[in-house]
Amino acid sequence: MNNSNVIKLIPLLVLATSCAATAAESEISDSDRIAQYREMISDGNPADFDEMRGEALWKTVAGPKQASLEKCDLGKGAGVVKGVYTELPRYFKDTGKVQDLESRLLTCMTTLQGIPEEEIAAKPFASEKKASDISSLATYVVGQSKGIKMAVSTKHPQAKEAYEIGKRIFNYRAGPYDFACSTCHATSNVRIRMQDLPNLNVRKDAQAAYANWPAYRVSQGLTRSFQWRLNDCFRQQRFPEPKFASEATVALTMFLAVSANGGEYAGPGLKR
Amino acid sequence: MGNPMKIRAAVKDGVTEVKILMQHEMETGLRKDADGTLVPAWFITEVKAQYQGRTVLETQFGQSISKNPYLLFRFKGGAAGEKITVSWVDNKGDTRSDEVTIAA
């Protein structure tokens, strides 16, 4: 080995920011810094690994019925995953319900693979100790919609109804803190600690927020699904925990997805 | 054997840029789990990159590196179509080695 060619480094993570603060740097705002940080790490999003896991699961024979999910209809026909996320939630004839991605995956896993719903819904989110199949599957499916514009329809009366219910939930104040989603997400140019809070009543903000979920959370070391996002929003508001893939969570998703219509989907995202 | 890495490499103006995303828990050994028991240290200690049998990067990792680390480095030389091999070793002696072809 030619030693002169060896570059020896102390771990040089690209994430590491320089300690020296120059005059130019001090003019950069915190949100710019966050944007800078996001850009630096966007190249190496560990959500890719969850996508790979999800893709393998999609194609793997599993469950009592020994079937893969390749015949699962996510709205554009059996087995089609390309672009489906941009049209979800939507009304499904076979179930007679409006479903988001995760509730639809739940339907496929129960009907095609014969896995009991309770078994999946009991632990639907990934944890440090155990990955979640339904969550990884969702990561895989959303990845197939990258770069496609959101186009969720409220044409069907039930879809329209879900949207209206979702809007009400968004603005519904309750719980020990008398909180609503809109308490934090209906005002422009506000932040919580270092994070800018998107005003979800403004299309541009709603598009940017929706386009980046599901996302890998660096602080948690896990890829988080949209159902998890809503579940945690309810927790932060000190609401009772919503049931996984429940009508209420789907309705709220419907409201948020429609608010993001026209925006280019960019997930799976990457969050601090 | 560890989980696969995701590596991309591209050469531009005689400089090859290599981006490596590793899958590893990177436990510090200082964290306690829910029962209060210490989670044993488990982290990558060394990462090495080789090009045509020549070591172009050799680094030491420690507990302060995040889970699923991302590393970017550049080296002079490298030609499109040639291969780069990246490998790591962790403190349990586990290793992983992956290869990537340099893109133009």
Which tens digits make up the pLDDT trace of A51-95?
A: 999 999 999 999 999 999 999 999 999 999 999 999 999 999 999
Dist CA A272 CA A35 (whole Å):
10
Q: Does pLDDT of A11 surpass 50? A: no
Q: How many domains does chain A have?
A: 2
**What's the mean pLDDT in A205-228?**
93
Q: Is A122 found in the same domain as A159?
A: no
* Residue A256 near residue A200, CB atoms below 8 Å: yes
Q: Is A131 found in the same domain as A85?
A: yes
Q: Please, which pLDDT band fits residue A26 given cuts at 50, 70 and 90?
A: low
A2, A15, A40: best mutation site toward chain B, by most B Cβ within 10 Å?
A15
Residue B58 is nearest to which of A8, A14, A41, comparing CB atoms? A8
Q: What residues make up the domain containing A130?
A: 47-143
> CA of B71 to nearest chain A CA: how many angstroms apart?
6
**What's the mean pLDDT in B53-82?**
93
> CA of B97 to nearest chain A CA: how many angstroms apart?
17
At A14 the pLDDT is 42
> What residue of A is the nearest CA neighbor of B46?
A11
Please list every residue in chain A whose beta carbon sits closer than 8 Å to the beta carbon of residue B67: 46, 221
Q: Is A34 found in the same domain as A52?
A: no
B37 Cβ under 8 Å from any chain A Cβ: no
**What's the mean pLDDT in A189-211?**
91
Least confident of A39-48, A254-263, B22-31: A39-48
A162 Cβ under 8 Å from any chain B Cβ: no
Please list every residue in chain A whose beta carbon sits closer than 8 Å to the beta carbon of residue B69: 13
Q: Is A154 found in the same domain as A19?
A: yes
Q: Is A32 found in the same domain as A139?
A: no
Q: What is the pTM of this model?
A: 0.83
A21 Cβ under 8 Å from any chain B Cβ: no
A8 Cβ under 8 Å from any chain B Cβ: yes
> What is the number of other CB atoms lying within 10 angstroms of the CB of residue A211?
19
Q: Is A262 found in the same domain as A164?
A: yes
Per-residue tokens: A91: 């009304």
Dist CA A136 CA A50 (whole Å):
5
A100-147 pLDDT, tens digit each:
999 999 999 999 999 999 999 989 999 888 889 999 999 999 999 999
Q: Is A104 found in the same domain as A20?
A: no
At A18 the pLDDT is 42
Question: Rounded to the nearest 10 degrees, how much is the dihedral formed by the CA atoms of A238, A242, A244, A250?
Answer: -110
Residue that terminates a domain, selected from A99, A124, A143: A143
CATH label of the domain that carries residue A234: 1.10.760.10
Q: Does pLDDT of A244 surpass 80? A: yes
Q: Is A113 found in the same domain as A238?
A: no
Can you tell me which residue has the tokens 């409201």?
Answer: A255
Q: State which H helix or E strand residue A196 sits in.
A: strand A195-197
Residue B58 is nearest to which of A6, A13, A43, comparing CB atoms? A6
Active-site hit among A72, A108, A181, A233: A233
Name the range with the highest mean pLDDT among A30-44, A69-83, A181-195. A69-83
DSSP letters along B57-90, please? Answer: EEEE--TTSPSS-EEEEEEE---TT-EEEEEEEE
Tell me how many residue pairs between chain A and chain B have CB atoms under 8 A apart. 68
Q: Is A235 found in the same domain as A161?
A: yes
B62 Cβ under 8 Å from any chain A Cβ: yes
**What's the mean pLDDT in B63-77?**
92
Domains and CATH numbers, chain B: 6-30+37-101 (2.60.40.10)
Residue that terminates a domain, selected from A88, A114, A143: A143
Residue that terminates a domain, selected from A108, A143, A178: A143
> CA of A195 to nearest chain B CA: how many angstroms apart?
21
Between A159 and A25, the higher pLDDT residue:
A159
At A19 the pLDDT is 41
Please list every residue in chain A whose beta carbon sits closer than 8 Å to the beta carbon of residue B54: 1-2, 5
Q: Is A59 found in the same domain as A157?
A: no
Q: Is A157 found in the same domain as A131?
A: no
Q: Does pLDDT of A204 surpass 90? A: yes
Q: Is A198 found in the same domain as A139?
A: no
